[in-house]
A and B are shown apart, each in its own frame.
Chain A
Amino acid sequence: MTLNSILLPLFFLIIFPGFLFLSLYGFFLEWLDKKCLNLIKNKPGPAIYRPIADFIQLLSKETFIPKHCDTILFKSPPFLAIAAITTSMLSIPVWEKALFSFQGDLIVTLYLLMIPAITFSLANRSSNTPFEAVEELRTSTQLFAYEVLFMLALLAPAIIAGSWNIIEISKFMFHRPLLLILQIPAFLIALITLQGKLKRLHFDTPYNKTEAGEGSSGGSAFGEVSPFRGGLLAFSNLAINMEMVAGAALINAIFFGGAFNATGLSAIGLFILKTIFIVFLLSIIKTLMARIRIKQMMNFCRKILTPLILAQMALNIFIKIKMQ
């Protein structure tokens, strides 16, 4: 093994498109999201450096570990989430190709992107306090509603493409833009459920300020209550920012053909433009949503989104059989 064969993968993992790129682009998308929200509400919005300033401020604060919690289980979720999201980016194309592409990488990526929600739920549970336990139950309940829909929404185009490889699906969708029109329900469901993965309206019930105060918990960048404080909260928020990048990148690859047919910097530019557009759509959805009760959200997922995605899959199977 040469020095180059060690340094180059480490560059991919730590610098680009790994940890550093995901962090910085995540901060930018967080700012963009807040800016869009404020512009729609006719407010000035935060300065561009605000997300990084918030992150540094949280780092300087004391990291509190509850007395009776399981320390390892409590401390590890932000790092597990960051590791899962960064690993998922190996199979999602940021330029014309992915770093580690194989048949079935879509399924691996989907399950890797499920890890953050599960780990944060475990963090709530491991803090061993009553309010966090209730939040854990709410978070897990919502997870059951949106995770499966997110997976099905991204599997629907995979049925037509006849592949579980992200690059192959991307290539297929790029060459058949008309099919994208038929995938609009799946695309919308993917966007709505990505809101859930990012703990945004209308999936933010466990973080509702009016339902639980800020006593034993810290405020997070997206919700209002988190079991973490200080450095752990900073890394937890960072993981959610990184997930926004990975989620937008995956939706871009599956529905918008990724950066296929472009090379080098133009491919990266195309990736950035498309992911910014997806985050803009996420901001619009967030602005349009009112705060709703958890039961209303669950019913919306089960009785409206589930039949819709099942119909989409049926349509895609029909198209697939007709195409053969």
Chain B
Amino acid sequence: MNILLFPPIAFILIFIFAYILFKLITPPPAYGAIKSAIHKASQAGGEVTPTLKDEETCDYRQFFPLAVFFTILHIAGLMLATWAFIPLAETIGPIIAYLISVIIILAVLFV
């Protein structure tokens, strides 16, 4: 296989290509320093403060159970899919691991 098709190299090549294409076919960007009304941050008919203050920063605490749910399901999925194609799949191991995963996930979701 050609090294240029190796995913990390392909990723970098396409990133550079897309950025050069963008630079070639679009007018230069207008940065926030320009003082026309269109560049003012406004929402729902009124102006808003241009930058976030501490009290306006979003609270991520409600986010944590979802993050745990996401992580556990990800890992459980990868573990189960791995066990399914190695000789260990002939044993009862995947079933036990699966049941433990499900119990943890349901505990995160509903308790």
Contacts and interface: CB of A to CB of B under 8 A. Distances in A.
Interface string A270-287: 000000000000000000
A148 B74 contact: yes
A79 B26 CA distance: 14
A128 interface: yes
Interface of A: 5-6, 8-10, 12-14, 18-19, 59-60, 62-69, 71, 75, 78-80, 82-84, 86-87, 90-91, 99-100, 107-108, 112, 128-131, 133-134, 136-137, 140-141, 144-145, 147-149, 151-152, 155, 158-160, 162-164, 212-213, 215-216, 230-232, 234-235, 298, 302-303, 306, 310, 313-314, 316-317, 320-321, 324
B26 to A, nearest CB: 3
A169 to B, nearest CB: 11
B94 A130 contact: no
Interface in B79-106: 80-81, 84-85, 89-90, 94-95, 98, 102, 105
Task: From A9, A108, A131, A163, name the one whose CB has the most chain B CB atoms within 10 angstroms.
Answer: A9
A145 to B, nearest CB: 7
Interface string B17-52: 111001001111111110000111111110011111
A67 B31 contact: yes
Contact of A84 (B11, B45, B49, B90): B11
Given A13-B4, A65-B31, A324-B89, A87 B14 contact: yes
The B interface, classified by DSSP as helix, strand, loop or mixed, is helix
The A interface, classified by DSSP as helix, strand, loop or mixed, is helix
B55 to A, nearest CB: 10
B36 to A, nearest CB: 10
The 8 closest A-B pairs by CB, nearest first: A67-B32, A231-B26, A215-B42, A9-B4, A162-B85, A83-B15, A63-B29, A159-B84
Contacts of B58: 133-134, 136-137
9 contacts: A10-B13, A14-B14, A64-B39, A83-B15, A137-B60, A144-B67, A148-B69, A234-B26, A317-B94
A290 to B, nearest CB: 23
Nearest to A217: B43
Given A86-B10, A317-B94, A321-B90, A159 B81 contact: yes
Nearest to A115: B11
Nearest to A6: B4
